[in-house]
């Protein structure tokens, strides 16, 4: 009798495991089926790569960007599952309008990806920091994200569900990898996510961020050209890629898009307040880069 009960329990456990496995993979090719996403800064770069990945996985996507012509072009590229709305994240009213546009167009907002950001070029020393530039960068990289979270919560809290994503950077984790202004702004994003998650988790809303290594997007290349005038683009790209720790692979837009897809999908249903670092070990590895012993001379 006891053996029979154990056998029944075993069969039930295997059936339950099989059902769970099936649920996890039954919709593997369309992991965001039925969901609606709003992505800021999605006219190009990481935002565009993520928009493409979301659409491929069944989502309706609203591309919000300050670059009107490029944003319209990207939306047309993605077809009927995408649309464009003009949005300057420094203007809270623009963010509210973009979210209202999303809800009125598709009836809901499931994923808010605060991706828009700006780099900066200021004096390398804190003693010479231009605080006007600092304020401008913070208004986009920090205030814009807070505004996105604020207005997304207006829609998500009543529904008791939703996913909010934010783009941070490895420069917000390790000092000295970028100028102070940019690093401070990206460090703040990680702090915002952890702080806000304490409230949003009570409403069933997940919030996470992604911290990628340098990706040679149009955004980044534009800044690098200012630092290295006259240097060919392929040389700049190689410089960036060679700075990575994981040999044989480079950080690309698709890597960040894949991370966003995971965090936005039901596969990450119990992941919140997390900073997903996509850096090939950069922030965990410190190499002395000493020459091999046989090359050291007395």
Return d(Cα 120, Cα 123) in angstroms, integer.
Answer: 10
Of the candidates 182, 228, 262, 270, the residue annotated as catalytic is 182
Residue for token pair 């100028």: 179
Task: Output helix, strand, coil percentages for the chain, rounded to the nearest 5.
Answer: 55, 15, 30
Other beta carbons within 10 angstroms of residue 152's beta carbon come to: 25
- Closest by CA position to 60, among listed 37, 41, 76: 37
* Residues contacting 182, CB < 8 A, separation 6+: 119, 120, 137, 141, 169, 171
Residue 228 designated active-site? no
User: Of all helices (H) and strands (E), which one includes residue 267?
Assistant: none
Q: Where would I find the beta strands (DSSP E) of the chain? A: 36-40, 60-65, 82-86, 111-114, 162-167, 205-212, 275-278
* Token duo for residue 271: 């992941």
Active-site annotation, residues: 182
């Amino acid at each position: 009798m006891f053996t029979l009960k154990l056998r029944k329990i075993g069969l039930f456990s295997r059936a339950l495991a099989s059902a769970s496995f099936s649920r996890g993979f039954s919709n593997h090719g369309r992991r965001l089926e039925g969901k609606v996403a709003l992505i800021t800064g999605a006219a190009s770069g990481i935002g565009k790569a993520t928009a493409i990945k979301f659409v491929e996985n069944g989502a309706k996507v609203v591309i919000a960007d300050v670059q009107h012509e490029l944003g319209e072009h990207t939306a047309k590229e993605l077809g009927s599952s995408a649309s464009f709305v003009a949005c300057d994240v420094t203007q809270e009213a623009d963010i509210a309008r973009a979210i209202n546009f999303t809800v009125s167009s598709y009836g809901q907002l499931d994923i808010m990806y605060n991706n828009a950001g700006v780099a900066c070029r200021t004096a390398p020393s804190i003693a010479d920091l231009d605080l006007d530039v600092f304020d401008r960068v913070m208004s986009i990289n920090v205030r814009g994200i807070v505004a996105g979270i604020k207005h997304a919560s207006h829609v998500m809290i009543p529904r008791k569900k939703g996913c909010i994503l934010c783009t941070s950077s490895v420069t917000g984790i390790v000092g000295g990898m970028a100028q102070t202004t940019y690093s401070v702004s990206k460090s703040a994003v990680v702090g915002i996510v952890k702080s806000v998650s304490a409230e949003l988790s009570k409403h069933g809303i997940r919030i996470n961020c992604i911290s990628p290594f340098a990706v040679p997007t149009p955004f980044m290349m534009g800044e690098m050209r200012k630092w290295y005038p006259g240097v060919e683009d392929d040389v700049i790209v190689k410089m960036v890629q060679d700075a990575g720790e994981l040999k044989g692979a480079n950080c690309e837009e698709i890597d960040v898009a894949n991370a966003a897809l995971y965090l936005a999908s039901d596969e990450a249903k119990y992941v919140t307040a997390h900073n997903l670092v996509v850096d090939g070990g950069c922030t965990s590895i410190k190499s002395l880069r000493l020459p091999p012993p046989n090359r050291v001379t007395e």
